[in-house]
Structure 1
Amino acid sequence: MFEAAPTRPTLGIVDPAAAHRGFTLMRLPPAADLADLVEWHWVITWDLAPGVAFTQVVVPHPCGNVVAEADVFAAHAMPPGLFERTLAGTGGVVGTKLRPGALRILAGLPDAGRPGLILPAARFLGPTAEPASRVAVTEAVAGRAESAVGHLTPLLRAAAERNRTSAAAATLGRVTEAFAVLRSLGPGEPVAALAAALGVTPRSLQRLFADWVGVGPKWVLQRNRVHLAAELLARDPGRDQAGLAAEVGYYDQAHFCTDFARATGATPAAYARRCAASLEALAPA
């Protein structure tokens, strides 16, 4: 049995207050035997008035997702840039957020972490993937998130059982440990600190990330800082931005602004103004 709960926090979702007006997002935990590969399942539904469209932008995480939509079912490695999707009418999407590096095992492909890769689900989940995807999306739109995920879980389990070798599982375990340690470090810590905490050399850590994650540890540390900064600004758009830069690990505000704008498409000041307007629109009249 799965327990659905509203998503929180909203790391990666651009302007999360505005997102409340466009769609509903639920997260569900994976089955225990898939927890080494799956971080969580997510179900998005929307019901917009005729003629109304809503565009959501996401600053991607360094991991793959397996996504069932009305017209396609595919695995997506991390997009190379911002991810943007426009919603209209009524619909739903059922996704599985994989742990960093897990797509390589689930898909059985050594280059599955390559940014921008899109792999039809039938290629690694088998011929029943498309029918199961259609049922899952129908269940999601009907408000049955647990059932939607339940229709896809057996496919993921079968693929994991086919492709999960002991050697691959051990390497993925090291990747998972690296991300856990990364989250425990202060946001300003360098790659050398992460490598030291894991008991490996920086070069070994870079090879591990290149082979399994598709980006280097320095990139992941930087993306983690931007995600955190965007989340903090979304909660409190009026916060001092020089102080925010220091809080998320930058020694100078200019460098912070450059990285933030490159990742999100907006300067911190512009992002704060957008989030402030969205929060104001949500406030009771």
Structure 2
Amino acid sequence: MVMGPTHAMSGAAAGLAMAAVLPPTWGGPTSVSGAFVFAGVTAGAALLPDLDSPQATIARSFGPASQALAHVVERGSAAIHSATSTRRDDHRENGHRTATHTLAFAFLAGAGVAALVSAFGKPAVLGVLFLMLGLALRGLFPKWVKKNDWLMVTGIAAGLSVLAWVASASVSGPALGAAVTVGVIAHLVGDAGTKMGVPLLAPIVSINGKRWWDVAPPSMLRIKASGPADKILLGAFTVLSVALTYLVLLAPESLGANWA
């Protein structure tokens, strides 16, 4: 897989770009602070698919709670793969890189967030912000997180979620759901470029009799996790995020935004 920091930084860049182009009438942000909230949500959502692996670093983001959630997601993903795979599909020992690494999951996750916010309002918004910003901390600041225990990360994520809600209290369910979908898709695109690829169209589309066909570029273009290409991508997304941050703060009109 592409490493967590690369996923998170690609999500942050996608969130900043999305914040600039999503009209306020569609739930887009109306302020600079709101744009950064979007970036935080997409950065966290860009790590969400890896909750299908209890061994993944992000599974330790919230201590025992996230570890337990990762086990549930992994088993659920394995069950979905088992129930929908054909005789031509490869056997999987676990659920990693199956159900949560599909476009279906990306859109279902976004739709689920939108439905939760529409049904429960502020508590749901705070819950989504807490989870996504906690994951974003894990991805964007891995060295800092490694030096601090999960209680510190959880506490800061809780504080940030309240501040983020205050900064963008008018965020709509569909807009927050769209930010989650965009973040998950950023993850899928990153993993699709690795040696294993990802089953983007599973389990809906069958290709040559296989429902869990891994989509990936030609072998010569695939990258290795934590290898040179991964580090280059991290640098490129970091530069892009810094450039977008500059434009969001000082020249939003160049992005088509009209924030006060």
Task: Choose between structure 1 and 2 for higher RCO, CA contacts under 8 A separated by at least 6 residues.
Answer: 2
Q: TM-score range by the shorter chain?
A: under 0.3
TM-score norm. by structure 2 comes to: 0.24
TM (norm. structure 1) is 0.23
Structure having the higher Rg:
1
> Greater helix share, 1 or 2?
2
Q: Which has the higher strand share?
A: 1
